[in-house]
Amino acid sequence: MKAVNILLLCSTISRITPTVLSSDLRATIGTYPDYDGDLVVSGDVEITFDEYAMSFLFNGKGLEAGCGPGCGVHIHTGTTCSDADLVGGHYWAPAGTEDPWMNDVTYYDSNSSGNAIGQFSIENGYLMEGNVGHAVVVHDSEGVRVGCGILG
């Protein structure tokens, strides 16, 4: 009887599939929904997490040429890039604390061709899992939303 129990246990364990957990999220950036300007924004975002701290890497093309301070890239509350009304505002916790996305760290500088590569570190109050599926929004120098992608 004991041999049967051991065999059954081994059979059950062998059917368990290991899950590989990643500490990275990525988003492919495209044109923001309902954006009707002249920019054709594209690019990607890669975020690496260490608990609540995230290292945010942005690579963009088709951006406003020579865009300096004021051109931002942020995670938003929405979980879609297909409806501008549902993208929402900056995403952070806890409510009532200062918005971490409103600082010089979360801005990018583009060159004369409208290309930008930037990296910054930030904490928005959420672990990696809390950021999955949220929209990443790219802003021009006037704060206009020109690009969007979903973290996954």
Average per-residue pLDDT in the chain? 86
HEC string of 26-68 equals: EEEEEECCCCCCCCCCEEEEEEEEECCEEEEEEEEECCCCCCC
Region 124-145: mean pLDDT is 96
Biggest CA–CA distance in the chain, Å, is 77
Task: Characterize 104-134 residue by residue with b for buried, 16 or more Cβ atoms within 10 angstroms of its Cβ, and e for exposed.
Answer: eebbbebeeebebebebebebebebeebeeb
Residue at token pair 């963009």: 60
Poorest-pLDDT segment among 45-49, 67-71, 74-78, 108-112: 67-71
Task: Name the phi and psi angles at 24, rounded to 5.
Answer: -120, 145
Q: What is the pLDDT of residue 22?
A: 62
Q: What pLDDT digit, counting tens, does each position of 17-72 carry?
A: 334 356 799 999 999 999 999 999 999 999 999 999 999 999 999 999 999 877 99
pTM: 0.83
Q: What percent of the chain has pLDDT over 90?
A: 73
